[in-house]
Amino acid sequence: MTVLSGPWTLYLIWVLSQQGATRFGVLRQEISGISTKMLTERLRMLEREGIIQRHYQATIPPQVSYDLTDKGAELIAILGDLYSLAERWYGESSEAAHCLN
């Protein structure tokens, strides 16, 4: 729970679960409002926790993408349950896209 509680963490996982492997720059755009500092911080943390994987391509310019590990995928089921509950509680209008803090 400590892991998941950080800002943007759950939304970041959610985005990756929807799109699969995604590049750094795309994530920064997709998660509108996040700073590069925060994004890298969350990505490193989730990588340490074994929830996401980093893929590095030493091309020019370099390409880096991130996706969920198997461990990360296990979370999706639970997060899905939570989102379902949220929909029942707050109505269909509630979007999954929330910054957590």
Q: Using CB under 8 A as the criterion, which residues of the chain lie in contact with a second copy when the complex forms?
A: 1-2, 5-6, 10, 71, 74-75, 78, 81-82, 85-86, 89, 98-101
User: What's the closest the beta carbon of residue 29 comes to a second copy, in angstroms?
Assistant: 22
User: What's the closest the beta carbon of residue 71 comes to DNA, in angstroms?
Assistant: 20
Listed in sequence order, the residues at least 6 apart from 19 whose beta carbon sits closer than 8 Å to its beta carbon are 30
Whole-Å CA distances, 18 to 23, 57, 62, 71? 14, 22, 24, 16
Listed in sequence order, the residues at least 6 apart from 49 whose beta carbon sits closer than 8 Å to its beta carbon are 3
Residues making contact with DNA (CB under 7 A): 6-7, 23-26, 33-38, 40-41, 43-44, 54, 61-65, 101
